[in-house]
């Protein structure tokens, strides 16, 4: 439909970016980005109407997103020469709009387009040798000022390199090193750094990305306290195993993966020094509070569980671990070298945490107990008794409460 519409508008439309890259790599990608050589907002409005979807626009950037009835999003951008500021790095004068649009992008492999007008449907547009780079498995920028224009591309280069098991090209690598020497990261807002870091830490192959960031000096550029040492490296490697074990058990993404790895990166940093990191990342008060809480509960629980010498009852394991958010429990599991503790944590995650009891607050009310905080305490103690199999079934639980 979009291709036909482009024809009616007397213009060209293209699918661009990650979608094209991933088709050539035979990987799934559901983010559809269109570029049209006309007013993208008008185009998106019409496309939305034709497809019974709705459109949202960003007038300043001449971009729009069309949301189709099935929820599929299609981003529409405008490629019109008059909208571009002429980049200093650009040597040629005569350029088509699509070429200029692609030239502003980060890496060759992301700068591919495919015609979708019916007359030229499926024709690949490759101005910058992207097909060669895909074949050679290379991440390469398009011009020497790319990282100066946008230093977050350094983290993107690492993310794509590790995701596809590519290599950052030699010249590109040198430009990354130069950009870091020029302290370009200092200019980046905390928000943008955290955004890129989250993207990296939420992908597969996180240990590889972290090692690469460390080797190139990216971690140090983000904050000197974050550089790797052998214990952090070990924990991060082990975290990958623990997280994939957990995700196989539970299909729902019940944990925030990036936070779990971030705990590993911050391992051994004192509480006052963590303040520097929260400040650099411009964490909101809520984010900071959450992370402080996470670290404190880990500190408390790890202290308790690591000191154990004799066997623990299920209720004791539960008591120690239940105040800790899941990310923290997985972190403790990755950090310990003792199989017995790993076993306790696995028992907690797979059974103890999920076990329910039969009585509720209503039953306590029926017993004539006055509602209040003691309700939670009584239910908690009943759960502990159930975990140790001291009471079974509703009747025994009620008896237990009465006593």
Q: Which residues bind ligand CTP (CB under 6 A)?
A: 17-18, 31, 105-106, 110, 150, 152-153, 156
Q: Which distant-in-sequence residues (6+ apart) come within 8 Å of 50 by Cβ?
A: 1, 5
Measured distance CA(289)–CA(295) in Å, rounded: 10
Sign of CA dihedral 372, 375, 376, 377: positive
**Least distance CB 243 / ligand CTP (angstroms):** 19
Minimum distance from CB of 160 to ligand CTP (Å)?
8
| C-alpha–C-alpha distance, residues 333 and 346, integer Å | 8
Distances 297 to 290, 325, 327 between C-alpha atoms, Å: 11, 8, 11
Residue 30 Cβ, how far from ligand CTP at the closest point, in Å?
9
As measured in angstroms, the least distance from the Cβ of 263 to ligand CTP is 24
- Least distance CB 232 / ligand CTP (angstroms): 26
Residue number with CB closer to ligand CTP (31 or 215): 31
Nearest residue (CB) to ligand CTP, 153 versus 232? 153
Which residue number has the CB closest to ligand CTP? Answer: 18
DSSP three-state, residue 88: coil
* DSSP-derived 3-state class of residue 49: helix
Distance between CA 122 and CA 138 in Å, rounded? 24
* Smallest gap from residue 108 Cβ to ligand CTP (A): 10
Q: Which is nearer to ligand CTP, 258 or 318 (CB)?
A: 258
Closer residue to ligand CTP in complex, CB, 105/280: 105
Q: How far is the CB of 21 from ligand CTP (least distance, A)?
A: 6
Q: How far apart are CA 330 and CA 346, in angstroms?
A: 9
User: Is residue 33 classed exposed, middle or buried when 0-12, 13-18 and 19+ CB atoms within 10 A define those classes?
Assistant: buried
Nearer CB in complex with ligand CTP: 71/372: 71
For 198, counting Cβ atoms within 10 Å of its Cβ (0-12 exposed, 13-18 middle, 19+ buried), the class is middle
Distance of closest approach, residue 128 Cβ to ligand CTP, in angstroms: 11
The upper half-sphere exposure of residue 196, i.e. CA atoms within 13 Å in the direction of its Cβ, equals 23
Closer to ligand CTP by CB, 80 or 192: give it.
192
Alpha-carbon Rg of the chain, whole angstroms? 27
- Which is closer to ligand CTP, CB of 31 or CB of 399? 31
Do residues 155 and 196 touch, judged by C-beta distance below 8 A? yes
Q: What does DSSP say about strands 138-139 and 167-168: parallel, antiparallel, or unpaired?
A: parallel
Give 157 or 301: the residue with its C-beta nearer to ligand CTP.
157
The CA-CA-CA angle for residues 249, 252, 254, to 5°, reads: 90
* Alpha carbon distance 267, 278 (integer Å): 14
Q: Residue 144 Cβ, how far from ligand CTP at the closest point, in Å?
A: 15
Residues paired with 36 in a beta bridge:
13, 78
CA distances from 221 to 233, 281, 324, 354 (A): 18, 12, 31, 42
By C-beta, is 159 or 223 nearer to ligand CTP?
159
**Minimum gap (Å) between residue 262 Cβ and ligand CTP:** 19
Nearer to ligand CTP, 67 or 269 (CB): 67
């Amino acid at each position: 439909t979009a291709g036909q519409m482009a024809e009616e508008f007397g213009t060209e439309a293209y699918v661009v970016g990650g979608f094209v890259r991933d088709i050539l790599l035979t990987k799934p990608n559901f983010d559809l980005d269109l570029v049209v050589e006309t007013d993208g907002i008008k185009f998106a409005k019409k496309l939305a109407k034709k497809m019974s979807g709705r459109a949202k626009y960003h007038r300043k950037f001449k971009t729009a997103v069309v949301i189709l009835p099935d929820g599929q999003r299609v981003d529409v951008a405008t490629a019109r020469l008059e909208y571009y500021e002429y980049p200093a790095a650009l040597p040629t004068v005569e350029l088509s709009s699509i070429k200029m649009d692609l030239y502003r992008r980060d890496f060759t492999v992301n700068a591919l387009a495919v015609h979708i007008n019916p007359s030229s449907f499926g024709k690949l547009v490759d101005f910058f040798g992207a097909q060669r780079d895909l074949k050679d498995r290379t991440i390469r920028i398009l011009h020497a000022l790319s990282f100066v224009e946008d230093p977050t591309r350094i983290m993107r280069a690492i993310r794509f390199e590790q995701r596809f098991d590519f290599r950052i090209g030699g010249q590109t690598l040198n430009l990354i090193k130069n950009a870091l020497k020029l302290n370009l990261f200092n200019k980046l807002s905390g928000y943008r750094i955290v955004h890129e870091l989250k993207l990296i830490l939420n992908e597969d192959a996180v240990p590889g990305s972290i090692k690469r960031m460390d080797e190139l000096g990216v971690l140090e550029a983000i904050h000197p306290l974050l550089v790797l040492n052998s214990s952090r490296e070990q924990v991060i490697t082990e975290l990958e195993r623990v997280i994939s074990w957990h995700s196989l058990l539970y299909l729902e993404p019940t944990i925030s993966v990036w936070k779990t790895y971030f705990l590993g990166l911050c391992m051994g940093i004192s509480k006052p020094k963590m303040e520097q990191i929260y400040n650099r990342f411009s964490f909101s008060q809520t984010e900071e509070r959450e992370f402080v809480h996470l670290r404190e509960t880990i500190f408390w629980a790890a202290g308790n569980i690591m000191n154990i010498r004799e066997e623990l009852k299920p209720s004791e394991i539960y008591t120690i671990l239940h105040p800790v958010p899941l990310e923290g429990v997985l972190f403790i599991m990755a950090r310990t070298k003792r199989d017995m503790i790993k076993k306790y944590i696995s028992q907690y995650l797979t059974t103890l945490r999920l076990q329910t009891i039969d009585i509720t607050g209503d039953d306590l009310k029926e017993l004539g107990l006055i509602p209040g905080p003691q309700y939670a305490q009584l239910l908690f103690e009943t759960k502990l008794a159930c975990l140790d199999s001291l009471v079974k079934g509703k009747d025994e639980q009620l008896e237990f409460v009465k006593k």
